[in-house]
Amino acid sequence: MNDPESRRTTVTVDGAGVGVRYLRAGSGPPVVLVHGIGIDAASVSWRHVLPVLAEERTVYALDLPGHGESDKPRRRYTTAYFESVLEAFLDAEGLTGAPLVGVSMGGAVVLGQALSETPPERIALIDSYGLGGDAYWRAPASAALWTPGLGQYLFSGVGGSRAAVRSSLAGLTGSPPDDAFVDDVYEAVRDPPVRRTMRRWQRSEFRPTGLRTDYSDRLGEIDVPTLLVHGAEDPLLPPAWSRRAHEALPASALHVLDGCGHWPPREQPQVVTELLTAFLAGERGPASD
């Protein structure tokens, strides 16, 4: 009953049309889900969350350009570009103001919309990018990406085999990924243009002086209810980012999940779904740490 329907729309960004595939399921008030960069897509992060949320809401989960079944134009991929895509998508589908949920890089995209002239009524940020200016891995990653041949070598193996995907996921999650998780990510990244998208976004974001997208000094401007969820064992984006954001956001709740890494919607989908369901119903709940 809550199996998602695959749909397509075309949005115009930077003067060019781009086809966006999205999943839609359920009925009732809308909510829009935004996935992360590169090794993600709507069918990966939201595989288990979407059908449960669709029991009470109309759920939209888009594949950002360069990912999944959306168009993959040869262009410069930046967080700002994805923010523009999301804004155009919301306008095209009549969803401006709808609650937004973002994971990893998708969290930064949601933050951009929350700081726009047409903010959503509430937002949920899961292991969100955009909440800090630097991370321990940024310097070597930046150097590798701009070394001829090395950047492509470093990331070429991500979609080369299921074994490579399993190894990559094991370094991101709090426990070994199951076969279904590995298969979903493998299908999402096996297309070479997806890996090209990831490298181009990384080249934009991983600067020699720090990470390009950092909204931490603007969080006080966001006055909509905000749910922060972060894996306690996240090796990529530190939980301290979400803890600091919780202090800076005027109306927020924080949940740090023990035993969880960078991908809570796949590592602990039941917990994440319960938190989102309560939050979307208007219950922020107490902060937990």
Higher-pLDDT residue of 158 and 229 is 229
Question: Which residues does 49 contact at the CB level (< 8 Å), separation at least 6?
Answer: 33, 265, 269, 272, 273, 276
Place of tokens 């809550």: 2
Q: Which two tokens stand for residue 169?
A: 């996921």
| Residue 283: predicted pLDDT | 65
Residue 153: band (very low, low, confident or very high) from pLDDT cuts 50, 70, 90 = very low
Give the end-to-end CA distance of the chain in Å, rounded to a whole number. Answer: 36
Query: Which of 136-140, 208-212, 275-279 has the lowest average pLDDT?
Result: 136-140
Q: Is 25 exposed, middle or buried (0-12, 13-18, 19+ CB in 10 A)?
A: buried
| Residue 159: predicted pLDDT | 61
User: Is the pLDDT confidence value at 275 over 60?
Assistant: yes
Q: Let me know: does 199 contact 151? Beta carbons within 8 Å.
A: yes
Single-letter code of the amino acid located at 107:
G
Q: Which CATH architecture has domain 5-137+213-280?
A: 3-Layer(aba) Sandwich (3.40)
Query: What are the structural domain ranges in the chain?
Result: 5-137+213-280
Query: Which of 50-54, 147-151, 200-204 has the lowest average pLDDT?
Result: 147-151
Residue 139: band (very low, low, confident or very high) from pLDDT cuts 50, 70, 90 = confident
Higher-pLDDT residue of 268 and 160 is 268
The pairing of beta strand 16-25 with beta strand 123-126: unpaired
pLDDT (tens digit per residue) in 5-39: 999 999 999 999 999 999 999 999 999 999 999 89
Average confidence (pLDDT) over 210-230: 97
Residue 156: band (very low, low, confident or very high) from pLDDT cuts 50, 70, 90 = very low
Higher-pLDDT residue of 146 and 163 is 163
User: Is the pLDDT confidence value at 157 over 80?
Assistant: no
pLDDT (tens digit per residue) in 93-102: 999 999 999 9
